[in-house]
Amino acid sequence: MNQDFRDEPARRSFLADMAKLAAAGVVAGWTPLYQIAAHAQSAGATPPGFPADVPLYKQAFQNWSGEVAVQDVWTAAPRSADDVVAIVNWARANGYRVRPRGYMHNWSPLTLDPGAGAANVVLLDTTKSLTTVSVDTSARPARVTAQTGVSLESLLATLEQYGLGLIAAPAPGDITLGGALAIDAHGTAVPATGETLQPGHSYGSLSNLVVALTAVVFDSARQQYALRRFERNDPEIGAFLAHLGMAFVVDVTLIAGPNQRLRCQSFVDIPASELFAPAGTAGRTISSLLDRSGRIEAIWFPFTSAPWLKVWTPTPSKPLLSRTVTQPYNYPFSDSISQSISDLVKRIVIGGEASLTPLFGQTQFAVTAAGLALTLSADLWGWSRTVLQYIRPTTLRVTANGYAVLARRADVQRVIGEFVQFYQNRIDAYKARNEYPINGPVEIRITGLDQPADVGAAAVAPTLSALTPRPDHPEWDVAVWFDILTLPGTPGADRFYREIEQWMLANYTGSYAMLRPEWSKGWGYTDTAAWQDGTMLSVTIPRLYRDGQSTTSNWDAARATLARYDPQRIFRAPLHDRLMP
């Protein structure tokens, strides 16, 4: 018998195991680095008539968690907005779909579907050339105009050179500006007691900073796609401010405010029972810390008694005990995977030793606590971006669900306490059955909402942002963000996520609060998969963007606008077709 044939099942099993470990970042896996030029023999038939002066090649696509991995995707590198327009009009004439490709730091399949492949799809890599940034400090407030392929790391570094910054920003720097705006990316910040919002800032998502944008849209008069500029007071801009990937925005103009010096303190000694205590409880609670500093993040590893809590406080002068930092990514212990964690991941993922999950959570916490001490990183001070951005691509890669709960600032502690109690009850119930669907942390952040007045009196709200306000509930002024992380492919995770989702939908309702999905993460769970619950996609989510909204600024209005400007659905992925058929 042929040796290769006899060992084929074992070979497939080995490759599957390596793919799981690569997805988590534990071993080096195939990455979207290689390119096959369009004219190469191995590239296959080139898309007919593709614009000859635009670089075209085949390249692999893999999202952050490795759960969407497609090899040999036709990918182009437009050098200008005009190149993008030319490609889109070519796609219209040839039956192709076009989607922007950034750094792929996303979970939900808003670019490619893992089961649908990439036939008749061309990805446009915006990170190669569409990265210019210009800053206008003469405007009041200051403005920055940037192409959408620029990374947030580069954008914030440029702003810093002009004495500008953001109140809050996502922790990873490897996200394109276009990708961040498509899914209303956010940081964590609400006003501390006595804090006043300065011009150029917002406590909402990055989408709420936009004052104008240029998108590729269908021009019905010319019967072709063309560039169009939308201003923030244009009623139609609402659908483009957080478009979920159903549009192609090539550049944006944002407001920017004075940069802040922030002190970032890490705590690992506040018990979860105190931090997440029921509303009205005294002590070091989330609510009390928000009143003091306005900016917190809790990372609570499973089966541990205290979270890794970060507290950012605006602090103009350096505190005596703080360490000054001048660059981001100041937690080297989280930038790579320690041997102890790597060994446990392999035993859990490959060996099926789920009972090691409590030890895994405790080890993650121990590495964090020791790392903070050894690297003198528990008390940092610097300009905003140096302490807000801390996640590198080399960190442990996990999958995640994600939701925003809109509520009153006074109810933040209640919102968190109820969630933690239900989550812990379910974890305990699964453990009693010797099941461990969650092996990563719970992450909690709190932001303001996308208040259009932060930008101007006539500004339009981002229609599809999770942070778009409810006009019928003006008292809801904050959002509590919840993410639950676990290693990709962990048995029972989707069922657990569905239980959490259904409970949250039922609990945060009425005059108390409401739930919306975090577009970049997991939602719409069945017992076996995310983004597959037909009722969630076709009924529940549209309702969450209709309730309390005017007919000119709701789900249906956004759907109509996006359809009008992309009638051939050139920018749609399969998930979009199910969300907005």
- 243, 137: one domain: yes
State the CB neighbour count (10 A cutoff) for residue 512: 16
155 is a domain residue: yes
254 is a domain residue: yes
226 is a domain residue: yes
How much is the average pLDDT of 261-290? 98
Q: What is the per-residue pLDDT for 339?
A: 83
Q: What is the per-residue pLDDT for 33?
A: 46
How much is the average pLDDT of 140-148? 99
- 198, 252: one domain: yes
Q: Which domain-ending residue is among 81, 109, 125?
A: 125
- 64, 112: one domain: yes
Percent above pLDDT 70 for the chain: 92
* SS3 assignment, position 405: strand
- 47, 78: one domain: yes
- What CATH code is carried by the domain that includes residue 92? 3.30.43.10
Mean residue pLDDT across the chain: 93
Do 124 and 76 touch, CB atoms closer than 8 A? yes
* pLDDT tens digits for range 159-183: 999 999 999 999 999 999 999 999 9
Assign 117 a pLDDT band (cuts: 50, 70, 90): confident
Assign 466 a pLDDT band (cuts: 50, 70, 90): very high
Whole-angstrom distance, CA of residue 198 vs CA of residue 319:
23
* pLDDT tens digits for range 180-229: 999 999 999 999 999 999 999 999 999 999 999 999 999 999 999 999 99
Q: What is the per-residue pLDDT for 505?
A: 99
Q: Which helix (H) or strand (E) holds 379?
A: strand 379-383
- 141, 254: one domain: yes
Assign 361 a pLDDT band (cuts: 50, 70, 90): very high
Those residues with Cβ within 8 angstroms of residue 532's Cβ, 6 or more apart along the chain or in another chain: 524, 525, 526
159 is a domain residue: yes
Whole-angstrom distance, CA of residue 516 vs CA of residue 539:
13
459 is a domain residue: no
Q: Which domain-ending residue is among 90, 125, 160?
A: 125
Those residues with Cβ within 8 angstroms of residue 53's Cβ, 6 or more apart along the chain or in another chain: none
- What CATH code is carried by the domain that includes residue 163? 3.30.465.10
Q: What is the per-residue pLDDT for 115?
A: 81
219 is a domain residue: yes
Q: What is the per-residue pLDDT for 9?
A: 56
Residue 244 has pLDDT above 90, yes or no: yes
Q: What is the per-residue pLDDT for 340?
A: 84
Q: What is the per-residue pLDDT for 4?
A: 37
Instruction: Please state the three-class secondary structure of 191-212 as a single string.
Output: CCCCCCCCCCCCCCCHHHHEEE
Q: Which domain-ending residue is among 236, 259, 282?
A: 259
How many domains, in total, are found in the chain? 2
Residue 27 has pLDDT above 50, yes or no: no
Percent above pLDDT 90 for the chain: 87
42 is a domain residue: yes
Residue 39 has pLDDT above 90, yes or no: no
Q: What is the per-residue pLDDT for 13?
A: 55
- 108, 145: one domain: no
**Which residues are marked as active site?**
105, 297, 443, 445
In terms of Cα–Cα distance, which of 575, 576, 534 is closest to 558? 576
Whole-angstrom distance, CA of residue 189 vs CA of residue 479:
10
- 144, 109: one domain: no
Do 313 and 262 touch, CB atoms closer than 8 A? yes
Q: What is the per-residue pLDDT for 45?
A: 78
Assign 338 a pLDDT band (cuts: 50, 70, 90): confident
Q: Note down the domain range covering 83.
A: 26-125
- 150, 250: one domain: yes
Do 226 and 190 touch, CB atoms closer than 8 A? no
**Residue for token digits 């909204």?**
549
- 246, 139: one domain: yes
Instruction: Provide the 8-state DSSP code for 27.
Output: S
- Planar angle of CA 415, 522, 563, nearest 5 degrees: 105
Q: What is the per-residue pLDDT for 446?
A: 99
Whole-angstrom distance, CA of residue 491 vs CA of residue 512:
34
- 141, 117: one domain: no
**Alpha carbon of 314 to those of 260, 299, 404: distances in Å?**
7, 21, 25
- 144, 240: one domain: yes
* pLDDT tens digits for range 430-451: 999 999 999 999 999 999 999 9
Of how many residues is the chain composed? 581
- 179, 247: one domain: yes
Task: Give the predicted TM-score (pTM) of the model.
Answer: 0.93
75 is a domain residue: yes
Q: What is the per-residue pLDDT for 341?
A: 86
